């Protein structure tokens, strides 16, 4: 993964609440077998409306999306994160995210920044005319107008993002611990070992 230390540029000043993954990428786009190319389908139903924010030339190619509460609710489809990445979004700022979405975003190098609603309101105002800037080093969102909003980020996620670490590689390095756990399991709860499925069932 590419390391991410900061994201700056224009932001879609959206603010919509409860944006579900069916809105981010409708189900018919889920038949792909690769991670690429989903930007075309991102926000398809929103884009069908004239004057929508995603086709507004002021925000073309903006790397940041500002949304409302509960962004990314709904399904576990990682296609939502792939679609955002493919349309060039590297960070989403919202008052809250669905747990599954923020995990998926993180695994694709997209920063999810949680800020209180009043900060969101202010950023939406700024984003209509100016750029915003997210810095992982200082964990702040800033604007050209001296606004400064600190945010929290899970330390492990922050490190992975900033160093571009491969989480599977990191876990595979813990093999001794995993094998040790499995050995204990065979003793304490032997029935947990998998019964193979028999096609005759």
Partner 1 sequence: MANSQTLYEKIWNAHIVEKRDDGTCLLYIDRHLVHEVTSPQAFAGLRANGRTVRRPDLTLAVPDHNLPTTPRVDAQGHRLPITDPESAQQLDMLTRNTAEFGIDYIDATAPAQGIVHVIGPEQGFTLPGTTLVCGDSHTSAHGAIGALAFGIGTSEVEHVLATQTLLLSPSKTMEIRIEGTLGAGVTAKDVILHVIGKIGAAGGTGYVIEYTGSTIRDLSVEGRLTIANMSIEGGARAGLIAPDETTFAYLKDRPMAPKGAAWDAAVAYWRTLPSDPGAVYDRTVLIDATEIAPSLTWGTSPEDVVPITGTVPDPMSFADPSKQVAARKSLDYMGLTPGTPMAQVPVQHVFIGSCTNSRIEDLRAAAAIADGHHVAAGVRALVVPGSGLVKRQAEAEGLDRIFVEAGFEWREPGCSMCLAMNPDKVPPGERCASTSNRNFVGRQGPGARTHLVSPAMAAAAAINGRLSDVREFDTGVIS
52: contact with partner 1 by CB under 8 A: no
Residue 172 is a binding residue for partner 1 (CB under 8 A): yes
Collapse the DSSP code of 13 into the 3-class scheme (helix H, G, I; strand E, B; otherwise coil) and give the result: strand
Using CB under 8 A as the binding criterion, the count of chain residues that bind partner 1 stands at 60
Give the whole-angstrom CA distance, residue 152 versus residue 119: 14
196 binds partner 1 (CB under 8 A): yes
Strand-pair category, 91-94 with 111-114: parallel
By CB under 8 A, name the one of 9, 47, 52, 107 that touches partner 1: 107
Binder of partner 1 out of 6, 30, 88, 135 (CB under 8 A): 30
> What is Dmax (Cα atoms) for the chain?
69
The rounded distance, in Å, linking the Cα atoms of 155 and 160 is 9
Find, among 70, 32, 64, 35, the residue nearest to 134 by Cα.
64
Complex with partner 1: residue 88 or 103, whichever CB lies closer: 103
Question: How open is the CA angle 91-96-97, to the nearest 5 degrees?
Answer: 65
Asked if 87 and 110 count as a contact pair (C-beta separation under 8 A), the reply is no
178 binds partner 1 (CB under 8 A): yes
> Is 142 or 151 the residue whose CB approaches partner 1 more closely?
151
| Residue 187 in tokens | 């003793």
39 touches partner 1 by CB under 8 A: no
Contacts with partner 1, residue ranges (CB under 8 A): 17-18, 20, 22-23, 26-28, 30-35, 45, 68-70, 73-78, 81, 96-100, 103-104, 107-108, 154-156, 167-168, 171-172, 174, 177-178, 180-182, 185, 189-199, 201
């Amino acid at each position: 993964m590419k390391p991410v230390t900061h994201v700056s540029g224009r932001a879609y000043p959206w603010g919509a609440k409860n944006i579900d993954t069916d809105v981010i990428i409708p189900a018919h786009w889920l038949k792909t077998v690769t991670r690429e190319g989903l930007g075309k389908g991102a926000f398809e139903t929103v884009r069908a409306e004239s004057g929508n924010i995603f086709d507004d030339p002021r925000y073309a190619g903006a790397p940041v999306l500002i949304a409302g509460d509960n962004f990314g609710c709904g399904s576990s489809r990682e296609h939502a994160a792939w679609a955002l990445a493919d349309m060039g979004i590297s960070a989403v700022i919202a008052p809250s995210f669905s747990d599954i979405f923020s995990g998926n975003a993180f695994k694709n190098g997209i920063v999810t920044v949680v800020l209180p609603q009043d900060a969101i309101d202010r950023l939406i105002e700024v984003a209509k005319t100016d750029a915003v800037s997210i810095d992982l080093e200082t964990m702040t969102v800033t604007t050209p107008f001296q606004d400064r909003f600190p945010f929290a980020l899970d330390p492990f996620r922050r490190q992975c993002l900033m160093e571009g670490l491969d989480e599977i590689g990191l876990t595979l390095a813990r093999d001794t611990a995993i094998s040790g756990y499995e050995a204990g399991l065979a003793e304490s709860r032997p029935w947990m070992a998998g019964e193979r499925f028999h096609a005759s069932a």
